[in-house]
Structure 1
Amino acid sequence: MIQEVQQFKADFFKALAHPLRIRILEVLSEGDRTVNELQALLGSEGSAVSQQLAVLRSKNVVVGTKDGTSVIYALRDPLIKDLLKVARQIFDNHLINAISLLENIKNQ
């Protein structure tokens, strides 16, 4: 069982391992969107957004719901929003540490 959980985690983090996919998830954490809306908000080509959404769907990170001729995408699990927030906090901590180190070097 532990090995299955570790494999799930590895696959999950692989699904997140692309800057555009992270940005898509950040936008979807603010609300559900169609591909066209995502494309406009991200300033990216529709094919690139569609490709990255396909990866996220295949890994069960997002879900698409048909609405007429459009597909509306949403986060499969709302905890992804919290995960992105924690990742940002970790980044901020690393940045604070780097700034502190540079200030110490500068003041020597």
Structure 2
Amino acid sequence: MTSITTDRRVEIIKALAHPVRLEIAQSLADGPRCVSDFVEKFGCDMSTVSKHLTLMRKAGWVSCEKKGLQVYYQLSCECLPTFLRCIESIGEDTSACDC
């Protein structure tokens, strides 16, 4: 296994450090979604949602596939939902993570 730099680790973690990006990640845990789904859900414009998704894609959290005129995004990191549940458990009780 190749080791990545601390800077790259920070970049990957920062890609989730925004309320909309966290919500996108949680939504994608249920399956692929297109940009318009997130525009509707968050009330953001398409370019804002696309920027969030591009940042998440560059970090490696999501991948995308074009189907006709729509681009569908999906999680490329299968452990992300577990990671998010772990964060929730820490938030509820800072003494331990139950993951």
Offset of residue 73 of structure 1: 0.3
Report the structure number with the largest CA radius of gyration: 1
**8 Å Cα contact 2:60-2:77 kept in structure 1:** no
Segments of 4+ moved more than 4 angstroms:
none
Q: Which runs of 5+ in 1 are unaligned?
A: 95-108
Aligned residue in 2 for 1:76: 76
- Using the TM superposition, give the Cα deviation of residue 5 of structure 1 relative to its aligned residue in structure 2, in angstroms: 5.5
Residues 49-77 of structure 1: CA distance to partner in whole angstroms, max 9, x if unpaired?
Answer: 11100100111110010101110000001
Q: Output the CA distance in 1 between the equivalents of 2:5 and 2:79.
A: 17
Q: In the aligned structure 2, how far is the partner of 1:58 from the partner of 1:43?
A: 23
In structure 2, the partner of 1:57 is: 57
List gaps (5 residues or longer) in structure 2: 95-99
Match of 1:13 in 2: 13
Q: What is the CA deviation profile of residues 22-70 of structure 1, one whole-angstrom value per residue up to 9, with x for unaligned ones?
A: 1110111111100001211223222211110010011111001010111
Give TM-score, length-normalised by structure 2. 0.82
Number of aligned positions between the proteins: 94
Q: TM-score, normalised by structure 1?
A: 0.76
Q: Write 1 or 2 for the structure with the bigger share of helix.
A: 1
